[in-house]
Amino acid sequence: MTMGLRAFLSPPRTALLASIGFALCASANVYAHSDHERNTLVPPGYTHYAPSPVPDRVVLTFAGDPATSAAVSWRTDTAVENPRAQIAPALDGPALHQVEQTVAAASVGLTMENGAALHHSVVFEGLEPDTVYAYRVSGGNTWSEWFQFRTASDSASEFAFIYFGDAQNAIKSHFSRVIRQAYSDMPKAALMVHAGDLVNSRDNRDDDEWGEWFDAGGWLLGMVPSVVAAGNHEFHKHELPDGTEEQRLSPHWAPQFRLPENGPEGLRDTVYYVDYQGTRFVVLDSTSALNNDTVEQQARWLETVLRDNPNRWTVVTYHHPMFSVSAGRDNPPLRDHWKPLFDRYGVDLVLQGHDHVYGRAGDNLPEGKTRFDDEIGTMYVVSVGGPKMYMVSDQARTNMTRVAEDTQLYQLVRVQHDRILFEARTPSGRLYDSFELVKAADGRNRLFEVLPSERRCTRPDIPGYRETRCWEGSDLIEPPAALRNAR
């Protein structure tokens, strides 16, 4: 079998240096919030995630047509020369080396608190649709294990995917079981959608947090392609010469994720779309929209992507909810600029994060109903995969069909010709929410749903804890005495 493979080489990005500042909060009788709570399992003063000659942080993404291409990124130390990847049709025996093809990698330097690293990436092209391939990536005089993946079909057909809200805090400690249970429930998932705040990135231990994110997902990140949206915790505040601030994307983001370059100018690292077997996945950047005044620019691009869409289904993902579920949060610019386009072009499903609760709405929203007769418009979902937990607002409890507090969740989504089947499950695998969107011949959706009992916050009443928070997340690695003793 012959494959025409080549690697797209991105222009090198500037290597960046991040300083380290880390402290542990002390146990106390009354809980007091701090941005310096322990948020990883790495012991203070210990370097656990130093880059080495052995390839790590291997992640599969889309950078072109999923039927004929795939992208992979990985990390090594800076001594590695001639980085490359090898790909072959997945044989039934071990002789992959006899049929492999080698592709040179592009590399970007990045220096963080764990040391200087090189992040490498390749795009495999010329692949056959609906075919299993094996690949491996190089290190310093060594290779990774062989991973494998299946390319998409070149026509509309059934598939399934997994969706996660924020992992963000205590990732290895608490998100690991969520992503692993999700994969055990859906081992044939075609892709994973991450709706932002993959890490917390607030205490200058970014590299440890990213190390834990890759540890939590492990080898499945190299086997199941990820569709990633950037959240506010993937951005850092930067002061401009005039004294104002702007949000800048984390230096980890672009080197770690090789993504399609089909977004608007200046936003191609965080805004893009992927067509997968009859479904268009659109990724938007709500952080830049709300903080860097790009909401209109994204809307102009979004209209072209939704208007010229040949796919039967449309799924949109971004971080900040269109309709907030937590108290004290609201994002009117998204409703002003994006929601009219969702309504006009019939977006089916919107997957969001940020609020650290669960919420689903599609028929009774605070700014007018989207349901007409027995049919339903866009279905909006907010979810959380990590341990930081907020409280559901009174408004959301009234206006949304389904909400939850104090509940980590993963979502299993099956896309068929005439329906989308959606399940939200807890880390123990228990079904928490379920619905079907059934598409009629005229393109309108009909809703069928299952609603088990609602979950509420179970945190003890602890003095000093914020009323809008159920759990902080970073206090759950080694809880202060007030949390341990409040029983």
Q: What pLDDT digit, counting tens, does each position of 7-48 carry?
A: 333 333 333 323 323 232 333 333 444 444 689 999 999 999
Beta strands in 335-451 (DSSP E): 349-352, 358-361, 375-376, 379-382, 389-390, 402-404, 410-415, 419-425, 431-439, 445-450
Nearest CA to 74 out of 142, 16, 159 is that of 142
Q: How many whole angstroms separate alpha carbon 205 and alpha carbon 425? A: 30
pLDDT in tens, the chain (487 residues): 444 443 333 333 333 323 323 232 333 333 444 444 689 999 999 999 999 999 999 999 999 999 999 999 999 999 999 999 999 999 999 999 999 999 999 999 999 999 999 999 999 999 999 999 999 999 999 999 999 999 999 999 999 999 999 999 999 999 999 999 999 999 999 999 999 999 998 655 699 999 999 999 999 999 999 999 999 999 988 888 888 888 899 999 999 999 999 999 999 999 999 999 999 999 999 999 999 999 999 999 999 999 999 999 999 999 999 999 998 899 999 999 999 999 999 999 999 999 999 999 875 555 544 444 456 789 999 999 999 999 999 999 998 999 999 999 999 999 999 999 999 999 999 999 999 999 988 888 988 887 777 888 887 776 667 778 888 777 777 766 655 665 5
Which residues have a Cβ under 8 Å from the Cβ of 107 and sit 6 or more positions away? 12, 83, 118, 119, 120
| Residues found in the chain | 487
Which residues have a Cβ under 8 Å from the Cβ of 45 and sit 6 or more positions away? none
Tokens of 32: 């007091």
Q: How many whole angstroms separate alpha carbon 190 and alpha carbon 152? A: 8
Long-range contacts of 327-334 (CB under 8 A, 24+ apart): 327/390, 327/391, 327/392, 327/393, 327/394, 327/468, 328/393, 328/468, 329/354, 329/355, 329/393, 331/286, 331/290, 333/289, 333/290, 333/295, 334/286, 334/289, 334/290, 334/295
Q: What is the DSSP string of 193-231?
A: EEES-SS---SS-HHHHHHHHHHHHGGGGGTS-EEEE--
Q: Are the C-beta atoms of 93 and 102 separated by less than 8 Å? A: no
Q: Which domains does the chain have, with CATH numbers?
A: 57-150 (2.60.40.380), 159-450 (3.60.21.10)
Taking the CA atoms of residue 173, residue 175, residue 181 and residue 184 in that order, the dihedral angle to the nearest 10 degrees is: -100
Which residue's structure tokens are 């080489």?
A: 9
> What backbone phi and psi angles, to 5 degrees, belong to 88?
-155, 155
Nearest CA to 425 out of 225, 237, 162, 241 is that of 162
> What backbone phi and psi angles, to 5 degrees, belong to 313?
-115, 150
Q: How far is CA 446 from CA 21, 90, 129, 386, 412, in A?
A: 52, 41, 32, 31, 19
Query: Looking at residue 238, what is its pLDDT?
Result: 82
Q: In 3-state terms, what secondary structure has residue 469?
A: strand
Q: Are the C-beta atoms of 182 and 412 separated by less than 8 Å? A: yes
Residue type, 83: P
Taking the CA atoms of residue 53, residue 60, residue 424 and residue 177 in that order, the dihedral angle to the nearest 10 degrees is: -10
Query: Looking at residue 479, what is its pLDDT?
Result: 66
Query: Looking at residue 23, what is its pLDDT?
Result: 30
Q: Are the C-beta atoms of 123 and 66 separated by less than 8 Å? A: no
Q: Is the alpha carbon torsion for 59, 62, 64, 68 positive or negative?
A: positive
Q: How many whole angstroms separate alpha carbon 363 and alpha carbon 160? A: 24
Which residues have a Cβ under 8 Å from the Cβ of 232 and sit 6 or more positions away? 196, 197, 247, 287, 291, 319, 320, 354
Query: Looking at residue 461, what is its pLDDT?
Result: 73
Q: Are the C-beta atoms of 358 and 409 separated by less than 8 Å? A: yes
Which residues have a Cβ under 8 Å from the Cβ of 12 and sit 6 or more positions away? 106, 107, 108, 109
Tokens of 372: 């007409």
Record the pTM. Answer: 0.88
Query: Looking at residue 319, what is its pLDDT?
Result: 98
Q: How many whole angstroms separate alpha carbon 137 and alpha carbon 71? A: 12
Q: Are strands 349-352 and 379-382 parallel, antiparallel or unpaired?
A: parallel
Strand partners for 70 = 124
Q: How many whole angstroms separate alpha carbon 90 and alpha carbon 133? A: 5
